[in-house]
Amino acid sequence: MRPRTLVLIAGGAVAVTVVVRRALRGSDERVDLYFDDGSMISLEGDSPEAQRLLPVARDLLSTV
């Protein structure tokens, strides 16, 4: 095989892997909070804190 063909096959395999992993992972929601000091907290979608923030975030995103 030619090197170009091998590169195309490898690139295709990587792309398929990424798509399959994203599809299997589902649409898990989470809330990422970024602060002025550069720190960040990520809240899982099923946490009580995220449950309070997710409706507000959905409302804001629907207006954009």
Q: What is the pLDDT of residue 29?
A: 82
How much is the pLDDT for 26? 59
Long-range contacts of 44-53 (CB under 8 A, 24+ apart): none
Can you give the pLDDT at residue 30?
A: 85
b/e 45-62 (16+ beta carbons within 10 angstroms → b): eeeeebeeebeeeeeeee
Residue 39 belongs to domain spanning: 3-63
pTM to 2 decimal places: 0.50
For the chain, the domain total comes to 1
Instruction: Give tens-digit pLDDT for 3-57.
Output: 788 888 888 888 888 887 777 775 678 889 999 999 999 998 889 999 999 999 8
Contact 29, 50 (CB under 8 A): yes
pLDDT at site 27: 60
CA dist 45 and 51 (Å) reads 7
Query: Which pLDDT score, from 0 to 100, does residue 20 have?
Result: 78
